[in-house]
Structure formats: C-alpha cells, structure tokens
C-alpha cells in the first residue's frame, strides 16, 4: 500500500479514536504564560516569545538550535504543550519535549522523553518516547510511532503524566507509579512501574525542557539524511503550556511544600479526570499502538536477547501486527549506546547546548 493511502487510512482511524476519547479532553487543564513557569535555556535570538507570552517559537538555523527549561523541578505531575512542528524538509531535525534531572544527577539521572524526528518528506515526522531512571542509559526503552496526522499543519497536544495511580486487582487495590504519554486525548504508552525494574524508573524531581536541535548524526533513517540548512530556519511552536504537580527539591528529592500541601498537590493530580486511566482510554491506547507504533523495545529480541523488560505487556497479536506492517512503515533506527548517549548525559538538551549546527 502506498504511504499516502496508509496515512489516509490512519487519519480516518484517528477521527474515530479522538471521538471516542472526547470525554476525557484536557480542556480543563490550566495553562501558563511562559514567564510564569519557564525560562530560556539556549539559543538566544532563536527563542521567540509571543507578545502575550503564551506561546514560544523555537528555531533551528545554521547558527544554533534553541530551548527552554522550567524554573522549577517537579516530583510527579502532568506536563503538556501544544506543539506545531517545522514544515517541509526536516531530515535530521529533532524537536524534544521532555523531563530530566541530568543537570543535577550526571550519572544517575531520570528522564521521560517525547522526541520528534524530522523526515525527508514534509509532515512525516516520527515520534519517539523513552523512559530512563537512575542513569539507565544502557537500557534504552524507546518506542516509535507514526502520527495519524501531519504535525506540521497545526498544533497538537503532547502530554506526559507521571503520577501514582491505582491498579484494581481481583483482591487488592494496589498503588503504583506510572508514566503515560498522550497525543491529544489518546494515551499512546503507559509504563507502570514493576518492582523488577529496580531503579529504571524516574524517582527524583525533574525539570521540563523543550528544545530544537541538529540530530543529523542519528535522527533520520539512522543518520543517512542530515539537516539541510537551505530550508532553515526550522520553526517549531509551543503553546498551551501546562505543568501541574508538586514542585520538588531536586537535591533533597522531596516536595517543596511540606506535609499537607504536597499531599494535596498530589491528590489533586491523582483525581484529575485526565490522570485516571479508564478502560476506554486504555482501549484507545491499544488501538493507537496497533496502528501507529513502528518500534518498541518490548519486541526487540536482537537488542535485548535476555527477554523483554519486566514492565512490558506483550501480546502475540500486537507482536504479529508489528511484524506484519510495523517495520514496513520505515522505521528510524537510532545508533545504540556509543555516540549519542555518551554526549547526552543531561538529556536531549545537553547535546543541543554542546553545539548545534554542526553542519
């Protein structure tokens, strides 16, 4: 099937999914002005704030990428932005929206990532999610998806929820910690902390980052296609910025508000509509993954020969679908271990800060 036909099919499916999830919309989530919760991180003139300070454009040109960071660290929370990605030829370009504490913990950092990988064909961005805990950089937990829409045409909301949650079992009501990634109202990935994960799950306060940078070395078809600055500047736009959750002290690893205050923050988060994973949302997630996922470590027996990670919820059906047409969606493979991760101790932003535009 031609790529275009597939995208059309996927787009039709998206309309159904979105309709199904409409009841759980994020409309009620309070958004903030840039200045209330964020500050510029790098790229000076390539970070452009709107007059009302409620949206920010991050540009990448030959000179530099750009990025911003939250003024606080958060111990759990809901983090969200509507993002419009750069148009046209974007091979090698990476836009990232993520949480990290790599600046504080060089060797044992935690990270939750949304990374958007540009493509040679306008609009066909790949989305990658990842989860690291306590410096688990040799155990990358990547997943990649094709979006069922063109993310450069209009802004879509991308959200990360990192929170305690309740899992109902037959006999017990177990409290666990999970993180989930959302595209608009649809959860696309849920990682529930499994005891056997050990430290491989975020546990310390993290800051929120947004960056655009030159990922020529790996982002598009394994680095085959580099950033072409003929098409610069590459412009991404962030709006509807939302951060909800208890602020935390990154060094002491505790909430900033003592006792009751922190508990209330957390309770507010846990009981918010958007934080509750209903059976409907989980069904929408499964449908999204069946159609849109192009790669997940959970089925990568080559890379992880000793079997899937403990938190993987593998099913034979999903595996079949993935091999039937997952890889044929032109998977973007990332070089492992060496190279990228080494130069990236402090998360996606570190590399960008280290020197972008290495054209």
Ligand X SMILES: *[C@@H]1O[C@H](CO)[C@@H](O)[C@H](O)[C@H]1NC(C)=O
318 is catalytic: no
To ligand X, the closest distance from the beta carbon of 117 in angstroms equals 22
Query: Could you give the count of Cα atoms lying within 13 Å of 127 in the half-sphere of its Cβ?
Result: 30
Q: Please say whether the beta carbons of 116 and 144 come within 8 A.
A: no
Helix axes 279-292, 3-21, angle to 10 degrees: 180
Q: Please say whether the beta carbons of 206 and 108 come within 8 A.
A: no
Q: Which is nearer to ligand X, 100 or 134 (CB)?
A: 134
40, 232, 321, 354: residue in contact with ligand X (rule CB under 6 A):
321
Q: Is 20 in the site for ligand X (CB under 6 A)?
A: no
71, 108, 228, 314: residue in contact with ligand X (rule CB under 6 A):
108
Q: Is 134 in the site for ligand X (CB under 6 A)?
A: yes
Query: Which residues between 283 and 302 bind ligand X (CB under 6 A)?
Result: 290-291
36, 263, 317, 327: residue in contact with ligand X (rule CB under 6 A):
317
State how far the Cα of 223 lies from the Cα of 218, in Å rounded to an integer. Answer: 4
16, 23, 167, 199: residue in contact with ligand X (rule CB under 6 A):
199
To ligand X, the closest distance from the beta carbon of 328 in angstroms equals 13
To ligand X, the closest distance from the beta carbon of 321 in angstroms equals 4
Binding segment toward ligand X, per CB under 6 A, in 175-183, 204-212, 315-323, 347-355: 315-323
Which string of DSSP letters, residue by residue, matches 6-19?
HHHHHHHHHHHHHH
Binding segment toward ligand X, per CB under 6 A, in 14-22, 65-73, 233-241, 317-325: 317-325
320 is catalytic: no
Q: In what order do the strands lie in the sheet with 38-42?
A: 38-42, 66-70, 207-214, 93-100, 111-117, 126-132, 143-146, 293-296
Omega cis (within 30) before 174: no
103, 113, 214, 318: residue in contact with ligand X (rule CB under 6 A):
318
Numbers of helices and strands, H then E, in the chain? 6, 18
Q: Is 177 in the site for ligand X (CB under 6 A)?
A: no
Q: Which is nearer to ligand X, 71 or 108 (CB)?
A: 108
Q: Please say whether the beta carbons of 255 and 75 come within 8 A.
A: yes
State how far the Cα of 79 lies from the Cα of 197, in Å rounded to an integer. Answer: 23
Binding segment toward ligand X, per CB under 6 A, in 40-48, 179-187, 251-259, 316-324: 316-324
Q: Whose CA is closest to 245, among 194, 189, 202, 193? A: 202
To ligand X, the closest distance from the beta carbon of 123 in angstroms equals 21
Compose the 226-255 pattern: x for residues touching ligand X by CB under 6 A, - for all others.
------------------------------
State how far the Cα of 160 lies from the Cα of 48, in Å rounded to an integer. Answer: 24
List contacts with ligand X (CB under 6 A): 108, 134, 198-199, 290-291, 317-318, 321
């Amino acid at each position: 099937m031609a790529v275009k036909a597939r995208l059309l099919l996927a787009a039709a499916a998206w309309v159904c999914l979105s309709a199904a999830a409409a009841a759980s919309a994020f409309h009620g989530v309070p958004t903030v002005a840039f200045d209330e919760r964020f500050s510029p991180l790098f790229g000076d003139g390539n970070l452009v704030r709107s007059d009302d300070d409620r949206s920010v454009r991050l540009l990448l040109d030959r000179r530099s990428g750009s990025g911003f960071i939250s003024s606080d660290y958060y111990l759990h929370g809901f983090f969200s932005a509507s993002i419009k990605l750069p148009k046209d030829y974007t091979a090698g370009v990476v836009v990232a929206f993520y949480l990290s504490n790599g600046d504080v913990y060089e060797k044992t950092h935690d990270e939750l990532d949304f990374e958007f990988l540009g493509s040679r064909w306008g609009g066909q961005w790949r989305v990658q999610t990842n989860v690291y805990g306590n410096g688990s950089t040799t155990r990358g937990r990547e997943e990649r998806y094709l979006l069922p829409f063109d993310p450069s045409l209009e802004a879509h909301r991308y959200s990360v929820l990192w929170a305690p949650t309740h899992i109902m079992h037959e006999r017990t009501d177990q409290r666990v910690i999970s993180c989930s990634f959302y595209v608009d109202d649809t959860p696309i990935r849920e990682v529930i902390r499994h005891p056997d994960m050990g430290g491989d799950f975020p546990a310390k306060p993290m800051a929120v980052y947004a960056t655009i940078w030159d990922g020529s070395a790996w982002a598009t078809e394994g680095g085959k296609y580099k950033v072409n600055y003929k098409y610069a500047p590459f412009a991404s736009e962030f709006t509807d910025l939302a951060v909800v959750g208890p602020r935390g002290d990154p060094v002491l690893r505790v909430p900033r508000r003592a006792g009751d205050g922190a508990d209330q923050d957390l309770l507010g988060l846990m009981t918010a509509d958007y934080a509750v994973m209903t059976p409907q949302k989980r069904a929408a997630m499964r449908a999204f993954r069946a159609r849109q996922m192009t790669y997940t470590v959970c089925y990568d027996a080559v890379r992880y020969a000793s079997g899937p990670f403990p938190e993987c919820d593998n099913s034979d059906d999903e595996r079949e679908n993935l091999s039937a047409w997952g890889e044929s969606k032109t998977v973007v493979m990332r070089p492992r271990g060496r190279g990228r991760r080494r130069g990236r101790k402090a998360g996606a932003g570190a590399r960008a800060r280290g020197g972008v535009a290495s054209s």
